[in-house]
Structure 1
Amino acid sequence: MDLTLLRTFVTVHRAGSLTRAAVLLGLSQPAVTSQIRTLERQLGRPLFLRNARGVTATTIGDELAHKVAPHLDALTEITEAGLDADSVARTLHLAGPPEFTAERALPALTPLIAQGLSIRAAFGPAEELLSGLAAGHHDLAVTTVRPRGGLLTATPLCDEEHVLVAAPRWAARLGGPAVLQVRGVRALDPVPLVEVHESLPLITRYWSAVFDAKPAAAAAAVIAADLRAVLGCVTAGAGLAVLPRYLCTNALDSGEIVALLDPVVPPLRTYFLAVRTGTLGLPHIARAHEWLLRTAVGW
């Protein structure tokens, strides 16, 4: 049986779409459709059912995918093997949120540059990153959203603790964590909010997890689409914010900002490391994936 037909079949099975598979394979959609029909004629059975949103594998299609996909991935690994100190340089297209990628992921991967790896980084929101990964624009994506479906595979990378912070003068005005625990969440109402988006995603999540309430303010005083800018505004006294601990540890240690509360169970957010299913057979992607997982143990 033609391996090209099987490779196209597995890509369509994972993508759930002839159009998306065509993009990943660098082919036209008619070419992909023709290859699938050829394989179906050879087998004498339909492999996919067409619908408005793409394709769904038949029972025969699922069985064939489960049988052949591991072997095709192994062949890819064999043919692509060789990213070592004296191999041709390979480029890793990494995507993730700007702050986490800049502060953690990219520094963690720099040792691999000496081993022949080049890195190209892209930033964006989780849904955009996963769409780009699925379309083949990225090799590896760090995201706070676990992807669904068979096209993408995600591995938990690390948890991020969120901290409610403000400048010392705001903390003094509020009376400290003990007073805040007694007075409750409404004691925070007079303090301006600093956030990354108009929807107040971090503050809303923190209020829900810690206070079982919604923020009283409908809008933030400052919106900055980068958490490092949010930290700068909070340090300057603009108001309070919810920030990941890794990003504000130095400012907390130096006293530039203060944690307004120390909940027994702090809110956490999980980061995932996502790849297109099957691409861990490519050595440069597999090495970066393994390196990040190993490094993240200490985060």
Structure 2
Amino acid sequence: MDLALLRTFVTVHRAGSFTRAAQLLGLSQPAVTSQIRSLERQVGRPLFLRLPRGVSPTPVGNDLAHKVAPHLDALMEITQGDLAEESGNRTVHLAGPPTFTSLRVLPALAPLVAEGLQLRIALAGEDEGLAGLAAGHHDVSLGTLRPRDRLLAATPLWDEEQILVAAPVWQERIGGPQAVHTHGPRVLDDVPVISYDEGMPLLDHYWSAVFDSSPAIVPAVVVPDLRAVLECVTAGVGMAVLPRYLCGEALAEGSVAALLEPPVPPLRTYFVSVRAGTIALPHIARVHEQLVRAAAGW
């Protein structure tokens, strides 16, 4: 079976569109369509269902993708490699959320860069990072979403502790952490909320884990960077749920205070994800191993 046809097939499977696959491969859409038809004739079965927008793999197409994609990825890396790959110093394209990537991931990978590894970083949302990984834009993706695609392999990396914080003045106004323990979340109704996303995923996760309910709150401030959220909290704007690694220093200094100290703090697990089969490649293996090793000390 022609490897060029398989490469086109896997790209279409990941992209979900002939048009998008053509862009990724540098081919015309008719050429991609022709190659897929040729492969379908060889297989003897349809591989994709044509939809009004894009394509969806048939069961046969899914089965073929799961069988060949990991091996094809590894083979393409070998054929496109150079001497640098033998030492594991090829460029690694990594995607991850801005704050976690900046404060945890990049410092952890600094020793590898000093040894010659080249990094290209995409600060991206988690869905975007996994989509880019599946499409071949990234080699490694980090985030709290475990990929469902069997073509992606995920390793649990680290559990992030979540804390509900505000400036000390707000802690005094509500009567301290004991007030929340005694009266529940209703004592927080008048405290403005700061979130990095309109949907308030961190606050929603915290409310669900601690109060077994959903917050009936509209955020007062939405800013897409957790470091900016912390600055708003420190300035006395309101409350936010933040990871301990980000706000721990501010807590120690007393510039922010915990509004509640639950017996079991909510946690979010981060995963490091790669395309199945690529973990055997030296440059990706080095990054994966370094992150797992560093996370043990976080």
Contact 1:83 1:283 in 2 (8 A): no
Distance apart, 1:276 and its partner CA: 3.5
Distance apart, 1:64 and its partner CA: 5.1
Counterparts in 2 of 1:18 and 1:230: CA distance versus 1, 3 Å: same
2:148 paired with 1:148: yes
Pairwise CA RMSD of aligned residues? 2.9
What is aligned with 2:257? 258
Q: Aligned pairs, how many? A: 295
What is aligned with 1:294? 293
Which AA in structure 2 matches 1:56? P
What is aligned with 2:168? 168
1:114-133 equivalent positions in 2, closer than 5 A? 114-133=114-133
What is aligned with 1:106? 106
Distance apart, 1:77 and its partner CA: 5.5
Which AA in structure 1 matches 2:187? A
Counterparts in 2 of 1:296 and 1:122: CA distance versus 1, 3 Å: same
What is aligned with 2:268? 269
What is aligned with 2:188? 188
The 1-side partners of 2:67 and 2:192 are apart by 58
Q: Tell which deviates more after alignment, 197-206 or 277-286.
A: 277-286
SS at match of 1:205: helix
Distance apart, 1:209 and its partner CA: 2.0
* TM-score normalised by L of structure 1: 0.83
What is aligned with 2:8? 8
Contact 2:206 2:241 in 1 (8 A): yes
Counterparts in 2 of 1:30 and 1:281: CA distance versus 1, 3 Å: farther
CA displacement 1:116-166 (0-9 Å, x = unmatched):
222222223222333333343332221222333345443332221110112
Q: Tell which deviates more after alignment, 276-285 or 207-216.
A: 276-285
The 2-side partners of 1:290 and 1:269 are apart by 21
The 2-side partners of 1:216 and 1:33 are apart by 49
Which AA in structure 2 matches 1:148? R
Contact 2:96 2:141 in 1 (8 A): yes
Contact 1:15 1:151 in 2 (8 A): no
The 1-side partners of 2:190 and 2:41 are apart by 70
1:203-214 equivalent positions in 2, closer than 5 A? 203-214=203-214
The 2-side partners of 1:215 and 1:230 are apart by 18
Q: Tell which deviates more after alignment, 227-236 or 284-293.
A: 284-293
Q: Tell which deviates more after alignment, 100-109 or 287-296.
A: 287-296
Percent of aligned positions with the same letter in both sequences? 61
Counterparts in 2 of 1:273 and 1:230: CA distance versus 1, 3 Å: same
What is aligned with 1:157? 157
Counterparts in 2 of 1:15 and 1:167: CA distance versus 1, 3 Å: same
CA displacement 1:89-121 (0-9 Å, x = unmatched):
532222211110100111111111123222222
Gaps of 5+ in 1: none
CA displacement 1:234-286 (0-9 Å, x = unmatched):
12222221101111111112222221212123222222223344443543233
The 2-side partners of 1:40 and 1:65 are apart by 13
What is aligned with 2:234? 235
Counterparts in 2 of 1:186 and 1:71: CA distance versus 1, 3 Å: closer
Gaps of 5+ in 2: none
* TM-score normalised by L of structure 2: 0.83
